[in-house]
């Protein structure tokens, strides 16, 4: 049995504690909670787990590319300022985990970011300001990262928009199949992420 966890931020740590005590492998796509404690708890328990704030395979590939760029070209954007805007369905209570991961990469690239992420949860603003189709107000993930040079003469925009939830469902199935193979092959009991899933080519 492999547990799939898509609950709420406040339950992340309690749920992980339960899975670790019982010794059940799990895939967690829920964001929020105390991530440091989460990883320490799971790592110490030696259970099989895939934990990722982003389960969409193509978005994960974008994140992986950002990490490669940050690793190979540190401070390439030194001095640039960053503005981040994200829009999700009104029921999403926490800030986008994907946005936080991308911001972390930009910081390694030398970007200064002290401002808060602009979270848009009002349906009217989502339609009028962000361009979310009305039929996807109940399930979407729009992200915009705007970079500008110190003198404002150069700018870059990175954007990824998701309507619906099928991309996450597909990625979750791939994560479960990946974890099942790890269990079957008696691989190391540890925390894996979606980049691990991508690297092994476990994609349907």
List the domain boundaries for the chain. 3-51+166-199, 57-163
pLDDT digit string (tens) for 152-176? 999 999 999 999 999 999 999 999 9
Q: What percent of the chain has pLDDT over 70?
A: 99
Q: What was the pLDDT predicted at 203? A: 60
What is the strand order of the sheet 140-148 is part of? 118-120, 81-88, 140-148, 155-163
pLDDT digit string (tens) for 125-139? 999 999 999 999 999
CATH of domain 3-51+166-199: 3.40.50.720
Catalytic residue set: 88, 92
SS3 26: strand
Q: Considering the entire predicted model, what is its pTM?
A: 0.84
Residue 6 CB partners (closer than 8 Å, separation 6+): 29, 30, 172
If you average pLDDT over every residue of the chain, what do you get? 95
| Residue 43 CA from chain centroid, whole number | 19
If one counts every other C-beta atom within 10 angstroms of the C-beta of residue 180, the result is 14
Rounded-to-integer distance, Cα 60 and Cα 178, Å? 15
Domain 57-163: CATH class, spelled out = alpha beta
Rounded-to-integer distance, Cα 50 and Cα 179, Å? 7
């Amino acid at each position: 049995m492999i547990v799939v966890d898509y609950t709420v931020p406040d339950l992340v740590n309690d749920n992980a504690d339960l899975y670790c005590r019982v010794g059940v492998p799990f895939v967690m796509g829920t964001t929020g909670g105390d991530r440091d404690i989460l990883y320490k708890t799971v790592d110490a328990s030696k259970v099989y787990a895939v934990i990722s704030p982003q389960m969409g395979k193509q978005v994960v590939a974008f994140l992986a590319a950002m990490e490669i760029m940050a690793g190979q070209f540190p401070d390439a954007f030194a001095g640039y300022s960053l503005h981040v805007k994200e829009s999700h369905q009104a029921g999403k209570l926490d800030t986008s985990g994907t946005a936080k991961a991308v911001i972390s990469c930009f910081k390694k690239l030398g970007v200064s970011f002290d401002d808060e992420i602009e979270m848009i949860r009002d349906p009217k603003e989502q339609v009028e300001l962000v361009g979310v189709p009305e039929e996807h107000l109940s399930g979407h993930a729009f992200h915009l990262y705007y970079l500008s040079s110190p003198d404002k003469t150069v700018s870059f925009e990175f954007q990824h928009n998701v309507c619906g939830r099928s991309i996450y469902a597909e990625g979750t199935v791939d994560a479960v199949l990946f974890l099942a193979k790890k269990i079957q092959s008696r691989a190391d009991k540890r925390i894996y992420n979606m980049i691990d899933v991508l690297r092994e080519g476990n994609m349907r």
